[in-house]
Amino acid sequence: MESVVSSEIINSFFQKLNDSLKADVAVVGGGPSGLLAAAVIAEKGYSVNLYERNLAPGGGMWGGAMMFNSILIEENVSSIARESRINLSPGEHGNFVVDSVQATAALINRACCSGVRIFNCITVDDLTFNRNEEVNGVVINWSPVLQKGMMVDPLMTGAEAVLDATGHPAEIAAQLVRKNGVELSTPSGGVIGERSLNVELGEQNTVEFTGEIYPGLFVSGMSACAVAGGYRMGPIFGGMLRSGSKVAGEIIKRIERIR
């Protein structure tokens, strides 16, 4: 019986890993914007891998603000929230107050139910290029391997579009510029870094700066703000959901264009 249990786990994981080697989309980071983008793209029938460095996807959404586990969502994002089965309670100024644990669990559930292949404990360490110097995949390794600094080579998986949803550090975009000296479609051509906090403009910037910053590489959420020099936002998550929804549409457009 013991070997049967192990065998079923090993077979199902390696089947999933093998199926993931050539996906339509690779999402890096399982915060709110990455989870929503992944779910929306998968719901349209595309294959999506989502890589999350930590044990639990969810990013910075679980803990609310300063670990008070409530967050706000604006009225104009209520339809996305309802589609995602996030429970909304009316707030005082036209916003909704949301339990951050329920909201995070709902986004993870939506991604899982839509067929997104979630790989937790795996870090995206680098990107791959095609002959036209466009991004066409990701380089992955077990998070503990990287955290321990072990000299173990990674594996690669192909994707027609890669989404950097890594939050404040914009890790993948920063890595792309640092290693390859390429120009991004930002005002400076590089990763500008996020500004200090402005709730209103931070929300706007997150959505406005969401999109393709280099052929094959997209940014969403705080990564979009950080890349383009946008304001940091507060514990309001509507912008994250709008960003995820916007980038999903743009990624699908790219895939349809290059096919």
Which residues contact ligand 48F (rule: CB under 6 A)? Answer: 28-34, 51-54, 59-61, 123-124, 165-167, 171, 221-223, 233-235, 237, 240
Whichever of 1 and 163 has its CB closer to ligand 48F, that residue is 163
Read off the tokens for 211. Answer: 């999109």
Separation CA 122–CA 26 (nearest Å): 12
Q: Which residue has the tokens 């959420």?
A: 221
**Which residue, among 121, 212, 219, has the nearest Cα to 167 in the 3D structure?**
219
Minimum CB distance to ligand 48F, residue 108 (Å): 11
**What's the one-letter identity of residue 173?**
A
Minimum CB distance to ligand 48F, residue 56 (Å): 8
Minimum CB distance to ligand 48F, residue 147 (Å): 12
Instruction: For the chain, state the CA radius of gyration.
Output: 18
Residue 249 has, within 13 A of its CA and on its CB side, a CA count of 7
Whichever of 64 and 184 has its CB closer to ligand 48F, that residue is 64
N- to C-terminal Cα separation, the chain: 47
Phi, psi of 57 (to 5 degrees): -65, 165
Whichever of 24 and 171 has its CB closer to ligand 48F, that residue is 171
Whichever of 197 and 258 has its CB closer to ligand 48F, that residue is 197
Minimum CB distance to ligand 48F, residue 8 (Å): 27
Minimum CB distance to ligand 48F, residue 3 (Å): 32
Minimum CB distance to ligand 48F, residue 6 (Å): 27
Is residue 219 within 8 A of residue 173, CB to CB? The reply is yes
Whichever of 184 and 225 has its CB closer to ligand 48F, that residue is 225
Read off the tokens for 241. Answer: 């959901």
Q: Which residues contact 52 (CB under 8 A, 6 or more apart)?
A: 29, 30, 118, 119, 120, 121, 122
Whichever of 95 and 166 has its CB closer to ligand 48F, that residue is 166
